[in-house]
Structure 1
Amino acid sequence: MSIRIKVAKTDKELSDVYRLRYQVYSDHGYFADKYDGAVVDLYDAIPSVANLIAYSDDVPVATLRLNRDSALGLPSDHAFDFSGYRQQVTEEERVAGRGAPLFSSAGMLAIAEEWRNRRYVFGGLFRMAADIGHMWGVTHIMATVNVTTAGIYERLGWQRLADPVSIPALGVEILPFASAVEPMYRWAFGMFKDQRGLLDHFSGCFQWYLVDGGKEIFRQDETGDEAFLITKGSVDIMRHHEGSDRTLRLAKLGAGDMFGELSLIDSSPRSATAVASRNTELVVINRDVFWEKSNEDPQRLKDLMQILSGRLRDANNLGMIYACGSDDERLAYFTERVRHAAIPDPRNPEVLKSRISIEEFADMALVTAEQAERHLANLQDQGLLEFTARQITFFGGETK
């Protein structure tokens, strides 16, 4: 199973957004008497809006709306008085010698029932929201959320601004939250330290692709027109050799890695097959979008060439460590790769976190889970990191 998340632009995509809102909200008893089959308001009509829509096999399953501040204010202002927060942030930015802040809001979150417990759907929407906010130049984002979903925002490091506020017309209580955009952007893209220039140049042009473990992302010899960056999970790159009828695994890639990038340059057949080895989140850039933006600014093409040369060097190193490295050397090498791709904790940027399991780490290093656990335990005893079954937390400095 897979999910694509994009900015709704066509008539059909926008219609899917409005109808999905109605479907989800009316199931909870909201708005059914006010709207007829579609939930839409004036904030959907102004230019400074982006409606995100997620599809599973062309069926809309989730949506989220972003609004940039305008003369009309923000939708969140109608449910809570954010003026105190706005004034506080404006003064903080002035004292810091920065320009006036630019605010945005996130709202109209609607996720179809069968997808509500799948955190990667919510995570994909919010990673894409961080990218849109970055493109707009937004500095701070606000939201009024149902108390039942408040924990998600708290885990992301958002600031709760008040006690629950009752909305009698809907029979719910909401909580006002706010966050600076920069920590959100680090959370969404912190693993791509080596591709920051590419991300900046193409901000707002990405799609998100969420795939289950075992699903092919693309197949050897087929024509491709997309490149992928991994935000979470892992991908096996494999090549089939017809002469021996063997399939060789060329690499296992993880968070922060890029693959399929040659398809941005030409339409030659794919040289290998890419398969998600775990549930995986991918940033997607399309060839047509890439060349459209590159023609606007040749620096974008230069940045891609630098990334490609770095990828070639990395592929050589990876091949050598797989072919010639001892277990200890592979463990050290992949520990550093995981650390390099780890992202700052929203509450403490000095702490780096990687959502990788012991099994995933062991598989990457071609060792047993017991070997991987002993290696990590040794580094933990040295105070360099902490780990659980599903996460590694680094405390700075190289772990070699």
Structure 2
Amino acid sequence: MSIKIKLAETAAEIDEALQLRHKVFVEHDGRYSPAPDRRLYDRFDCCGTSVLVIAMAADQIVGTARLNRDDPTIGFPADEYFDFRSFSPKNAATASLSQLAIDPELRGNLKILNGMMMLTYYWAHRNNISHCVAPFNPALTRVMQRIGFEKIGDVVQSHHHDLAIQPMKINMLEVRKSFIDFVERQAFIGFMEPFFREYFDDGEVVVNEGEVGDCAYFIVDGSANVEVSSNSDGSKKVVATLGKGDLFGELSLILDQKRSASVVASNNLEVMILSRRQFINCIQNDSKNAMYTLQILASRLAATTSSMDSAET
């Protein structure tokens, strides 16, 4: 089952995320009182400092978390649970992570939580956030520690919401090295606009040969096989293997043609997705991106020529 991780963009996505919060925090966990419209939200959801990370499976939202930049006028949601500011470094650029909710039936799927946290790291990098604080449900403490969060003291009772919370924080500058390496590579390449990830299991098809392409893919982690159909019997032949840092699917966007090959995950695969608009903007507005794309196309042409020469000899 593929999992898509992105920032909520439409009113429908935001509304579905608010309904998931109610399902998790009210109907399942009993941590808040029921709302007549079965949606859970507060004043911070109406602010321009707020974004929602969402996880989707089969076009349904199965996970969500809220990120808020600090604001000198209204602060951020974490202020209503605990005095986090006493534990933040001086002059730190701090954000708040709150309303982390995963569908109860999928809480064992760590790909959802890990994916949302990776997008959180990426969002923090783009917004120059150095630290993030969060008032977590105490039941999540060990899970969040494995991701990189640290406890701030013991479990406390939030008087504002009358909830038991575990205050936690994470230094975004100390996230795991693999993410930093990838961010540095992206910064060089320049494909930094999209906040859209998708995760595929081994054997899942990412794109199908012959279908119309509307996006390109950049491999964040894992690998995939490029397969083409045989003219004789229709069987698939692996013609290339792609790995971390590779871009694919861009040719159909440039030439406005159908996909020339299928791409299938050969292990757990994480990709960043660029829409046609994002991809074209990237190569039009930055010569480094255009050169990188040309280098990819040239290397593929050279590999194809070499393969043809080998077949003839």
Deviation at 1:75, TM superposition (A): 0.7
Shift in Å at residue 172 of structure 1? 5.4
- Identify the residue that residue 148 of structure 1 maps to in structure 2: 139
3-state SS, counterpart of residue 63 of structure 1? strand
- Give the SS at the match of 2:255: coil
Q: Does residue 1:234 correspond to 2:219, yes or no?
A: no
Rounded to whole Å, the distance in 1 between the matches of 2:305 and 2:251 is 22
Q: Does 1 or 2 have the higher relative contact order (CA < 8 Å, sep 6+)?
A: 2
* 2:74 match: 72
User: Is residue 12 from structure 1 mapped to residue 12 from structure 2 by the alignment?
Assistant: yes
Q: Which residue of 2 aligns with 1:330?
A: none
Residue of 198, 201, 207 corresponding to 1:218: 207
User: Deviation digits for residues 286-336 of structure 1, max 9, x if unmatched?
Assistant: 1112334655xx22xx2222322443576589889999xxxxxxxxxxxxx
Number of residue equivalences: 307
Measured on the aligned residues, the alpha-carbon RMSD in Å equals 3.0
Q: Which residue in the other structure is 2:117 paired with?
A: 126
Do the aligned residues in 1 keep the contact of 2:82 with 2:158 (CA within 8 Å)? no
2:164 to 155, 167, 173: 173
User: 2:310 aligned with 1:308, yes or no?
Assistant: no
Match of 2:311 in 1: none
State how 1:70-149 maps to structure 2 within 5 Å. 70=71, 71-86=73-88, 89-90=89-90, 100-149=91-140
**Deviations along 1:75-104, whole A, 9 cap, x unmatched?**
112111112223xx22xxxxxxxxx43211
The structural deviation recorded for 1:277 is 2.4
Identity, in percent, stands at: 27
SS in 2 for 1:101: coil
Q: How does 1:262-281 map to 2 (within 5 A)?
A: 262-281=251-270
Looking at structure 1, the residues matched to 130 and 257 of structure 2 have their Cα atoms a distance apart, in angstroms, of: 41
Does the 8 Å CA contact 2:81/2:161 hold for their aligned counterparts?
A: no
**SS of the counterpart of 1:265?**
helix
Matches within 5 A, 1:38-77: 38-70=39-71, 71-77=73-79
Cα gap change, 1:67 to 1:109, in 2 (>3 Å):
same
Question: Partner amino acid for 1:265?
Answer: I
Change in 2 beyond 3 A, CA 1:318/1:157: farther
Per-residue deviation, residues 55-114 of structure 1 (Å, max 9, x unmatched)? 21222211111001102111112111112223xx22xxxxxxxxx432111111111012
Normalised to the residue count of structure 2, the TM-score between the two structures is 0.86
Once residues 168 and 117 of structure 1 are traced to their aligned partners in structure 2, the CA distance between those partners, rounded to angstroms, is 31
Residue identity in the other structure for 1:184? V
- Which SS does the other structure have where 2:175 is aligned? helix
- CA deviation map 1:266-301 (0-9, x unaligned): 322212100122332221111112334655xx22xx
**1:13–1:85 CA distance, 2 compared to 1 (3 A):** same
Q: What displacement does 1:192 show?
A: 6.0
TM-score, with length taken from structure 1 = 0.69
Partner of 1:373: none
Q: Where does the alignment leave 5 or more consecutive residues of structure 2 unmatched?
A: 309-313
CA distance in structure 2 between the partners assigned to 1:265 and 1:60 by the alignment: 31
Partner Cα separation in structure 2 for residue 170 and residue 320 of structure 1: 66
Within 1, Cα distance between the matches of 2:153 and 2:66? Answer: 23
Cα pair 1:208 1:282 within 8 Å, conserved? yes
